Structure 1
Amino acid sequence: MKAYEVQESSSDYSGIVEVERDRPEPAADEALVEIRAASLNYRDLSIANSDLTYPGAELPVIPLSDGAGEVTAVGEDVQRLSEGDRVATPFAPDWVDGPVAPEKIGRTTGGNSDGALAEYVTFPADSLAVLPDTLSYEQGATLSCAGLTAWRELHEEVDLTADDTVLVLGTGGVSMFALQFATMRGADVFVTSSSDEKLERARELGATWTLNYEETPEWGEAVREETGGVDHVIEVGGPGTLERSVEAADFDGHVHLIGVLSGQDGQVHPGPILVKGLTVKGSMGVGSRAMFDRMNSAIEAAAIEPVIDRTFGFEPEDIREAYRYVEDGSHQGKVVISLE
């Protein structure tokens, strides 16, 4: 079968190499999935790019945690899945249910365990979430990391209500899912971006307020003045944005620290966190399969359609171009690779 490996990290993604592998056979508790589509996250760039860092990656590895496909065979002990089921791949295949624990997130798809950028993959059957009938394979391939992260932060870690306000930074995959999951509950959402075109699209998706942060560098203060302070911040930047996110938050608010797109270094003064009584919590492991199931039920009930910016092919230059496109940061929502 055709697959891709990150054999070494490189600034131009030349270390992503097409390989030929034997088609895997499922173990007794596994399912074999024919992958139809996969999608990229910033994490995937940090594994393949020598200018970035991702702790815990083990090369060579088949990359990408996010994929969707059809079950083509199951092991002898598998009962919850059957041939023909449409499923999404797991980020943390050992986290099926319950609270997060180190042993549940020690193995990560596309990091230290082979991922979705291959024609066929095997996973523990209990780790695979069944896709809603309302979604295509391309849409289903966006859910495993970005979708589930946003869902967990707004609907598992807290009980978001229509009275809440949410600040979403940027218009990447996690941010667009957060916008959709928040508006699904009737919450008011504030979206920031450097692109007026992306902000217009965010308003079409339900954003109550938008702000161009290049035109308003002190956006934390501006958000607080407009809203009185938000209840939740989906913080994907890290250094350079976290301080302003704290400024934008209301008393007793939550700052959900999901990403560090602006780098690893930075300082945040603890004073405003203490004075406001804020909860600043990091998100690790994405989410369990049980959370995935609940998210999929909500997506189907609300007829949510994941935001896909662009779809690439399955040839070597297509793959590298997809990585470069995500690195450029001009996308809105998710970038997908189609195997069909």
Structure 2
Amino acid sequence: MKAMTLHAPAGLGNLRFGERPDPGEPGPGMIRVALHGSSLNFHDLGVVTGKMPSADGRVPLADGAGIVESVGTGVSEFVAGDHVVSCFFPDWLDGPPTIADFSRTPGDGIDGFAQEYVVLPATAFTSAPRGYDAVEAATITTAGLTAWRALVVDGKLKAGDTVLLLGTGGVSIWALQIAKAMGAIVSITSSSDAKLERARTLGADFTVNYGREQAWGRQVADWTGGRGVDHVVEVGGPATLAQSIEAVRVGGHISLIGVLTGRGGEVPTAALMAKQARLQGLIVGSRREQQDFVRALEATSIRPVVDRRFPLEKLADAFAFEAGGGHFGKIGIEW
């Protein structure tokens, strides 16, 4: 079967498209899936560029979606022909977080989904949202579920709440769509006026160009009449956290989910304390939370925003496009 593998030293030039042994038929509790789509995440880019070291010969990509070809004994949740999508943490089925690393995350600690077929435990997948193609379904595994957990599971989002989103990448655009579907009022930042205009077409109520407005946290707080927003989906990290704290209301919620501006930095502890805000780190979510998210998607008209699609053999080009930062929403891989 065809597959993409990453070889040492990590880098886009060492992604190789070639043949790998077929995984065969599923054993007890397993399913065989013909994969047809994936999507790119910042985490995947970190792996393929060597910022997050992985094994030589690793199959990249944390997201995967396709069609069940056969099931092993004891599997009752799926049958051949079902459309399924992978889980970021295949061993975190339900309950509170228990995993603090990526040792069992596909495309990082274990082989990912840049290949034609996989045989894995049935619990490594959920049903895909009805009507989604494989690329659309794959966008929920990492970015979509992260946004869902940040706002709904941890943030307890309700209609009328105010939300601040940073940038227009996959997590933020998913969060925009989820928040608007649930009746929230949303502000979003970008350095591109064209991207902000596109965000407004998706329902964004207030936009800020952070390239022109350095004190964007205060501007967002002023937009709320000085109260501050109820929720911040913080994907930037150390260079943006102070502004996010400025923007949040007293007793508000900041979901710390990204390190786009670095892995470490100063936390304005006095400002955070004064706001009495909840700063909560999170990494994606459980299988149960993904199942809940799928049901929510099927009850709404939300469809993911996929900026561009690349064939699997052009995976390096897709990552180069991601690294350029020009995309809006998700980048798809299909085969």
Which one-letter code corresponds to 1:267 in the other structure? E
Q: Which residue of 2 aligns with 1:330?
A: 326
With 101-110 and 286-295 compared, the bigger mean Cα shift is at 101-110
Post-superposition offset of 1:314 = 2.1
- TM-superposition CA deviations, 1:293-330 (whole Å, max 9, x none): 11111111111010000000122xx1111000000010
Question: Is this contact kept in 1: 2:62–2:107, CA < 8 A?
Answer: yes
Q: State the distance in 2 between where 1:270 and 1:311 align.
A: 42
Post-superposition offset of 1:134 = 2.3
Question: Is this contact kept in 2: 1:142–1:334, CA < 8 A?
Answer: yes
Q: Which residue of 1 aligns with 2:204?
A: 207
Match of 2:291 among 284, 290, 293: 293
Q: Which residue of 1 aligns with 2:248?
A: 249
Question: Is this contact kept in 2: 1:9–1:47, CA < 8 A?
Answer: no
Q: Which residue of 2 aligns with 1:312?
A: 310
Post-superposition offset of 1:280 = 0.6
Post-superposition offset of 1:9 = 4.4
Q: State the distance in 1 between where 2:202 and 2:48 align.
A: 32
- TM-superposition CA deviations, 1:174-216 (whole Å, max 9, x none): 0001001111110001010011111111111111101111011
Question: Is this contact kept in 2: 1:94–1:104, CA < 8 A?
Answer: no
Root-mean-square deviation (CA, aligned residues, Å) is 1.4
Q: State the distance in 1 between where 2:2 and 2:81 align.
A: 21
Match of 1:99 among 91, 96, 119: 96
Question: Is this contact kept in 2: 1:134–1:303, CA < 8 A?
Answer: no
Question: Is this contact kept in 2: 1:94–1:105, CA < 8 A?
Answer: no
Q: Which runs of 5+ in 2 are unaligned?
A: none
Which one-letter code corresponds to 1:150 in the other structure? A
Q: Which runs of 5+ in 1 are unaligned?
A: none
Structural mapping, 1:12-51, within 5 Å: 13-25=12-24, 26-50=26-50
Match of 2:126 among 104, 117, 129: 129
Structural mapping, 1:165-244, within 5 Å: 165-227=162-224, 228=226, 229-244=228-243
Post-superposition offset of 1:153 = 1.0
Q: Which residue of 2 aligns with 1:264?
A: 263
Post-superposition offset of 1:218 = 1.2
Which one-letter code corresponds to 2:311 in the other structure? G
C-alpha distance 5-135 of structure 1, shift in aligned 2 (>3 A) = same
Post-superposition offset of 1:290 = 1.1
Structural mapping, 1:65-144, within 5 Å: 65-102=62-99, 106-144=103-141
Question: Is this contact kept in 2: 1:8–1:48, CA < 8 A?
Answer: no
Which one-letter code corresponds to 1:335 in the other structure? I
Percent of pairs with identical residues: 43
- What is the number of equivalent residue pairs in this alignment? 332
Post-superposition offset of 1:103 = 8.3
SS at match of 1:102: coil
Which one-letter code corresponds to 2:65 in the other structure? A
- TM-superposition CA deviations, 1:3-50 (whole Å, max 9, x none): 011122444x11211231111132311111111111100111111113
C-alpha distance 204-122 of structure 1, shift in aligned 2 (>3 A) = same
Q: TM-score, normalised by structure 2?
A: 0.96
Runs of 4+ in 1 over 6 A off after TM superposition: none
